[in-house]
Amino acid sequence: MFPIRAIHQIEMTSRCNLRCRYCTHPTMARAKIDMDDATYAKALLWARKFPSHELNLAGIGESTMHPEFVRNVFIAREAVGERPLVLATNGLLMTLELARAIAPARPRIWVSLHRPEKAGPAIEALKQAQAEAGHQLLWGISADASIDAVDWAGQVKWHVSTRQKGEPCPWVKPGRVFVLSDGRVARCCFDAKADDVIGTVDDDLTQLQTAPYKLCATCHHDVGVPLPAARLQEIPIKLEAPVAYRQVAGGTSVP
């Protein structure tokens, strides 16, 4: 068992506007929803409590689909301070207007080449917005499904060609966790079904621990510790009073 040391990813939405064969999303059984304001605020409070080298605002969904995407990027920026704020997008919704809107928050954006005819204009929009802003927005272009492929720990029928095969797992032993769009906390970003979650953002995460789980046995990473027998658990979502926001320049903020 390992203590939680970092909120590495927050899944702003579990909805997506593509159905890629090499992704778990098309067959993902859990609800495809947008994270609500209270859950997002609590997730960011924990991200601030457990500082890591970066916060990733992408999950098993397309973050730009969240109706408050721009506002949420600014809220996250204030929550993490100067730490890198990263996200990946398929580019379908990344217009010049959107790129300009998020540029002041200085996110590090990766564009995936899921659909080249859409990714290309998104890349050009980010290039123009970063030239206008005077700082970098476009940090990379990903063709991983073709040249650095994974099969989501055996969850999809796809080839595995990743250069990271056999390398140490960056999640379990380092204590990183992934906040799902409904507020549950998963052990890693591959847990599409939320089969073995740890708790929720309403819990005291300082008292919770992560550990290897069933996907570790079929993952391309080496978890580095003995694997347990598969186990399933469902953590009920606790409903509490909404967390208040306050107004700040460029958007709203957690308390």
The residue extents of the domains of the chain are 2-253
Per-residue pLDDT averaged across 232-240, rounded? 39
Coarse DSSP helix, strand, coil percentages of the chain, rounded to the nearest 5 percent = 30, 20, 55
Confidence of residue 52 (pLDDT cuts 50, 70, 90): confident
Instruction: Tell me which residue of 125, 15, 121 sits closest to 65, measured CA to CA.
Output: 15
Distance of CA 111 to the CA centre of its chain: 14
**pLDDT bracket for residue 249 (50, 70, 90):** very low
Q: What is the pLDDT of residue 229?
A: 61
Percentage of the chain beyond pLDDT 70 is 89
- Predicted pLDDT of residue 133: 98
Confidence of residue 65 (pLDDT cuts 50, 70, 90): very high
Supply the pLDDT for residue 170. Answer: 96
Contact status, residue 249 vs residue 39, Cβ threshold 8 Å: no
- Per-residue model confidence as pLDDT tens digits over 210-233: 999 999 999 999 999 988 664 434
- Mean pLDDT of all residues in 130-146: 97
CATH for 2-253 is 3.20.20.70
